[in-house]
Amino acid sequence: MASHEALLIVDYTNDFVADNGALTCGKPGQLIEPNIIKVAEEMRKNGDWVWLPTDLHVPFDHYHPETKLFPAHNVQDTWGRELYGELKPWYEKHADEENLKFFDKTRYSAFAGTDLDMRFRERDVDTIHLAGVCTDICVLHTAIDAYNLNYNIVIHSSCVASFNQLGHDWALEHFEKVLGAKIVK
């Protein structure tokens, strides 16, 4: 029987985490790496779904709204878009497993412009666990969409980070107080 729970590891790439990433959250993002891999491995072994929605941009896309807000990042076919650190070999080791999936997203939320909701409904997923970066941007927008789509939400506080500590702290409170998310370590 398939699991009704899924882990989304949001945007854990070189550009968002590495010291020389184009839009990095740096040390806070780097420190959560072992926690993300631990949770991903536990859920994978449990037969849960582990999906990696990953920001995708194309060079010189003047129509994308982020072009005006942020420097170029997570550009298709670049080092910056590759998974960061030990998550990359972990993913490559398990990439052929049915419950693991890497997919592109082009907006903050993993649901916006993707078939994620449809795929999760097909699999009877009712609970979404969230990890990755940035807590107050892509993780937040994904959580809001999950809430609006009536998913149960679990935020792994030791598995999310941001370049903005105030935004990170605000988002954690927002997840719990406004979206009814369960916050776990």
Q: What is the pLDDT of residues 18-62, one digit of tens each?
A: 999 999 999 999 999 999 999 999 999 999 999 999 999 988 788
Tell me how far CA of residue 33 lies from CA of 27, 37, 147, in angstroms.
10, 6, 26
Domains of the chain: 5-184 (3.40.50.850)
Q: What is the pLDDT at residue 155?
A: 98
Q: What is the pLDDT at residue 45?
A: 97
**Which residues of the chain carry a pLDDT beneath 70?**
1-2
> Which of these, 85, 83, 75, 73, lies nearest to 51 by C-alpha position?
83
DSSP code at position 181: P
Q: What is the pLDDT at residue 4?
A: 96
Q: What is the pLDDT at residue 2?
A: 60
Q: What is the pLDDT at residue 60?
A: 78
Strands 152-161, 49-55: pairing is unpaired
Q: What is the pLDDT at residue 130?
A: 98
> Which of these, 2, 3, 4, 12, lies nearest to 142 by C-alpha position?
12
Q: What is the pLDDT at residue 29?
A: 98
